[in-house]
Structures are given as C-alpha cells and as structure tokens.
C-alpha cells in the first residue's frame, strides 16, 4: 500500500480540548476527533516508499527555533460555492511562515511539485457536505475564538489512513525544533 503523507504541527492537549469543546451546533457536520486535530504545513498525498524515505531523511535538515502560536477565530473553505470545511484559525506569525517555507523547499528538493494553494494556517474542525445544517450561528459564536498561546517545539510527518469511519492519522517521524 502506498503511504498518504502530510507534514503538520500537533497542538498540545489543552488546545485540542478547547477546540473539541467548541465543536457543536452544526447538524450533520463530521466533527474531527482528538487524533485528527493538527495544523497542516504541507499535504503530500500518496507517495511511493522510496520518495517517502527520502523525504523523512530530508526533513531532518529543516532548522527552526521553537515559537509561539495561538488559535484565533474561525472560518470556512468552499469550492465552487459549496462549503466543505469548518476551521479554527491560527494566528499568522513570521516563524510559522518561515518553517512552512523551509518545509516546502525540502519537499520540492525531494521531487514533489510546488504547492499551488496559498498557506492558510488553520486547524480543521469539521468536514461538511450539502446535508450539513446552517453555519451562521457557529461562525458567529466562534468568530472571536481565542485560545492561549502554546510553544511549537516540533513538527511531524504523518501517514493518513482512510477508513470507513474517517481518516486516521499516524505520526511517522517527529522533528524537534532547536
């Protein structure tokens, strides 16, 4: 089986609990569970084992100092006028942008095509389809969402397993920031 990979930051337990507490009020939303909460730095998709190993090795060269992040606000992603994702925003920061850019460079050096989507720091809260209930109350309630700062001291390479009940994310390699 070909691994399906992404690179992400895992928020600490207290932040994940606060996010889980906010996840309510939209009928038929497919809310994320604790194991699914992360800030994606780069989605890679299905990757052959050779390239996956090259990437895992190359990511060890990414250097950055620990830095602070915080959750702020909420929003949606839509495609062709249809909302498909509810998210909690992550306060943009220069250290986060630098880390993401360094990871993007390493991915390209290993042979991945450049990411074409703009990096929007967020943590997915729910997946939606056409049967999901109204979003206005949720967005009004969480638009000013703010959780305390946490220190990012690592990032991780994850493998995504698509199961009938949803995606399950398995950390493969942890890369400490020093």
DSSP 105-146: HHHHHTTPPPP-SPP--EEEEEE--TT----HHHHHHHTT-B
Q: Which one of the listed residues 13, 49, 50, 122 is annotated catalytic?
A: 122
38 is catalytic: yes
Output 80-83 pairs: Cβ under 8 A, ≥24 positions apart: 82/130, 83/128, 83/132, 83/135
Q: Which one of the listed residues 13, 38, 50, 84 is annotated catalytic?
A: 38
3-state secondary structure (DSSP) of residue 1? coil
122 is catalytic: yes
| Residues composing the chain | 178
Do 72 and 89 touch, CB atoms closer than 8 A? yes
Catalytic residues: 38, 122
């Amino acid at each position: 089986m070909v691994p399906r990979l992404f690179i992400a930051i895992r928020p600490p337990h207290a932040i994940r609990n606060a996010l889980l507490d906010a996840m309510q009020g939209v009928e038929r939303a497919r809310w994320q569970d604790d194991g699914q909460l992360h800030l994606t730095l780069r989605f890679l998709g299905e990757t052959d084992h050779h390239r996956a190993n090259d990437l895992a090795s190359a990511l060890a060269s990414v250097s950055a100092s620990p830095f602070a992040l915080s959750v702020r606000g909420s929003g949606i992603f839509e495609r062709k006028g249809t909302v498909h994702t509810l998210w909690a925003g992550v306060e943009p920061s220069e250290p986060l942008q630098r880390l993401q850019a360094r990871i993007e460079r390493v991915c390209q050096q290993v042979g991945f095509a450049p990411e074409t989507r703009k990096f929007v720091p967020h943590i997915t809260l729910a997946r939606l389809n056409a049967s999901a209930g109204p979003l206005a109350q949720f967005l009004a309630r969480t638009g000013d969402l703010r959780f305390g700062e946490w220190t990012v001291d690592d990032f991780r390479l994850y493998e995504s397993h698509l199961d009938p009940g949803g995606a399950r994310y398995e950390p493969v390699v942890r890369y400490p920031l020093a």
